[in-house]
Amino acid sequence: MTADAEEISVRLVGLLPRLRRFARSLSRNQHDADDLVQAVVERALRNHEQFRDGANLAAWLFGIMKNAWIDACRARGRRAEVALPEDSGEHPAVSPGDMDTSLWSVSEAMSKLPEEQRLAVALVLVEGMSYKEAAAVLEIPIGTLTSRLARGRSALAAALSENEGPA
Amino acid sequence: MNYDDEILMAYVDGELDERLSAEISAAMERDPALAGRVERHRALRAKVAGAFTTVLDQPVPERLRAAARATPLAAGGPQRRAEVMDFPARTSGAASRWGAREWSAIAASLLLGMLLLWQFLLPSQRSMITAADGTLVARGALARALDSQLASTQRPEDPVQIGITFRSQDGSYCRGFALRRAETAGLACRVGGEWRIPVTASAPGSTAGLRQAASLPPPVLAAIQARIAGDALDGRAEENARLGGWDPGHSE
């Protein structure tokens, strides 16, 4: 039992940069994103016996992150999530990496998407997963994934072209 | 021909079958408006994917590395079993108290261990590992197994058992291995066209289940943990790496 946990632990260390990227595409605040990664790592090690040997570890971890993130969003309340940027007139904490303007603007645009579209976009566009893999992570049919993906992309395209001014 | 956006997105995502994909490519040549729509989908995908790649290059906060290294026992109980896993920690307080003297003592004992180990290998196994220029290098059956054996197809009775295969942070391929009769396990990394062996350790008992890094002894696990970049290679990636001659520049 511990033996498997050790294997997962070794591989987890190597996957941390990807977990941080996925978390950052869900949460525009780097500190919150890292909290999410930490929660996922702890859950994964606690539940390591649920990981089937030979399965894709990254996909399993992304599935855990999806659940952890949805839990976190529910706990915080959707109102706070959606209302903050427009109403407060201030941006949430910006980390040094965000000096990169494309990270900042894409992240802002992503944060306005409904959770389910954001997850679909993050898995396929950011993580480069196939539709089949992404649908399995999200536990939804492929048709549902592609329609969320299409709606998410249209909204992103609109938000990004707005940021950049009229083309 | 009229294609809706969902089809064009799937085209950009590489999700269409060959026939439909070729049909759209051909239609784009005839129809600049269609080509423009595809280009916009492609640009959006590239923009979103590109925006987050900087996160991959950022240093991983130590608290996350520490969280990933903790095993359930280490996290919960008094019976810490994770000391060895903490070994490669770079910046943690405990590790920084170690001075050069302690480190060189460890290095010396590791080296002594390796030499002793080498001494006690059976002659047939001694031909598998040689010491050259202060490093151990795989030879003979071990080198052949590292070159060609796949974890997915090896048989339990093979004298060399290959375990986890992964890319190290410097890009080179590394493979965990165990020698069945010598009850020895180690890590080999492909450097300069040969398999160098930065660490070996005795692996008493069975080497069954070596596909999992789990059954490798702690010093080997620690060496893997200090080097691994990304996830372990799956069966297909392992085969591709072999086809590419374990050349780091060969794309997977």
B23-61 pLDDT, tens per residue? 999 999 999 999 999 999 999 999 999 999 989 988 899
Q: What is the reported pLDDT for A82?
A: 46
Q: Which residue, among B4, B7, B55, would best test binding to A if mutated, counting the most A CBs under 10 Å from its CB? A: B55
Asked if B38 contacts B28 with a C-beta cutoff of 8 angstroms, the reply is: yes
Q: Is the pLDDT of residue B92 over 50?
A: no
Closest Cα in chain A to B44? A157
- Residue A30, min C-alpha distance to chain B (Å): 9
* pLDDT over threshold 90, residue B91: no
pLDDT at residue B203 in the model: 72
A20 in Cβ contact with B58 (< 8 Å):
yes
Model confidence at A81, in pLDDT bands (50, 70, 90)? very low
What is the average pLDDT across B90-106? 49
Give me the pLDDT at residue B116, please.
58
> Per-residue pLDDT for B97 more than 50?
no
Identify the burial level of A64 via C-beta atoms within 10 angstroms of its C-beta, where 0-12 means exposed, 13-18 middle and 19 or more buried.
Answer: buried
Choose the weakest-confidence range: B15-19, B51-55, B126-130: B126-130
Residues of chain B positioned with their CB less than 8 A from the CB of A21: 52-53, 55-56
* pLDDT at site B76: 40
- Check pLDDT > 50 for residue A104: yes
Q: Which two tokens stand for residue B137?
A: 């290098």
Q: Which residue among B5, B9, B64 places its CB closest to the CB of A37? A: B64
Is B212–A53 a contact, with Cβ atoms under 8 angstroms apart? yes
Q: Which of B42, B64, B90, B174 to mutate to test the interface with A (most CBs of A within 10 A)?
A: B64
pLDDT (tens digit, 9 = 90+) per residue, A6-31? 788 888 999 999 999 999 999 988 88
Give the minimum alpha-carbon distance from A9 to chain B in angstroms, rounded to a whole number.
5
> Which of the pair, B245 or B203, is modelled with greater confidence?
B245
For A50, which DSSP code?
A: G
**Residue B143 to residue B137: CA distance in whole angstroms:** 8
State what percent of residues in chain B have pLDDT above 70: 69
Nearest to B72 among A5, A17, A20 (CB): A5
The second-level CATH assignment, the architecture, of A2-163 is: Up-down Bundle (1.20)
Residue B69 and residue A13: Cβ atoms within 8 Å?
yes
How close is the nearest chain A Cα to the Cα of B34, in Å? 17
Using a CB-CB cut-off of 8 Å, the residues of chain A touching B234 are 56
Residue B101 has pLDDT above 70, yes or no: no
Q: Cα(A43)–Cα(A29) distance, rounded to whole angstroms?
A: 21
Contact B85 A128 (CB under 8 A): no
Contact state of B48 with A110 under an 8 Å Cβ cutoff: yes
Look at residue B210 and tell me whether its pLDDT is greater than 60.
no
Nearest to B63 by CA among A139, A35, A6, A131: A35
Neighbouring CB atoms inside 10 A of B79's CB total: 9
Among A4-8, A100-104, B201-205, the minimum mean pLDDT is found in B201-205
Give the residue from chain B lying closest to A161, CA to CA: B44
| Interface contact flag, A13 B68, Cβ < 8 Å | yes
The neighbour count for residue A80, using CB atoms within 10 Å, is 10
Residue B209 scores a pLDDT above 60: no
Count CB atoms within 10 A of the CB of residue B155: 7
Q: How far is B81 from chain A (nearest CA, A)?
A: 9
